[in-house]
Amino acid sequence: MSDHHPSSAISAGVRHVEALLESRGLLDPGEIDARIDAFLAGGSPANGARIVAHAWTDPGFAGRLLADANTAIRELGLSMAGGLQEQRLKVVANSAAEHHVVVCTLCSCYPIALLGPSPSWYKSEAYRSRVVRDPRGVLREFGWEPPADTAITVWDASAESRYLVVPRRPEGTDGLAEEELARLVTRNGLIGTAAV
């Protein structure tokens, strides 16, 4: 990274604080990097897909998920506690009447623990600004257009709160097991930029 890059001063400051914490014995050398690596290694869209498939097959879980997602996902051995504190997870469910889309208009806040690293388009200024102003147009560019009478709600993630969308369960999937249903769920579906 160039020393003239706008983030170089921030990076240097972070490295300085990390070195101070290590020198005082508050952090082991490399502890922050190890935590970040472990956090990223555990994050995958498969986690979000498991949550959705379980919600599709267990109405009780679906209700708990919508009411208190942080508590409900622990039933599946998942958590939003990838860093030093747990982030609030809000889960919203698509219906025939309403479709949900997630964005972070300020940066790229995203439930990494449940979806893995965010896609590059999610971080782009074009997506972040346009999905709020023209969600139908953005969805069309992703190759999907909800019916005209379906309301679209855009959720803005933040440093404290993350969002996950439960897509509508596809018709004709009643006989599928949870594992088979989970394979139908895509990361874009969990963000709301695609249907399942």
Catalytic status, residue 2: no
| Active-site residue identified among 109, 118, 124, 129 | 109
Q: Tokens 């005082």 identify what position?
A: 24
Q: What backbone phi and psi angles, to 5 degrees, belong to 154? A: -105, 125
Residue 158 designated active-site = no
Q: Which of 8, 107, 124, 129 is catalytic?
A: 107
CA distance 85 to 123: 23
Q: Has 109 been annotated as catalytic?
A: yes
Catalytic residue among 108, 120, 124, 158: 108
107 is catalytic: yes
- Rounded-to-integer distance, Cα 120 and Cα 108, Å: 10
DSSP secondary structure string for all residues of 32-68:
HHHHHHHHHHH--HHHHHHHHHHHHH-HHHHHHHHH-
Active site residues: 104, 107-109
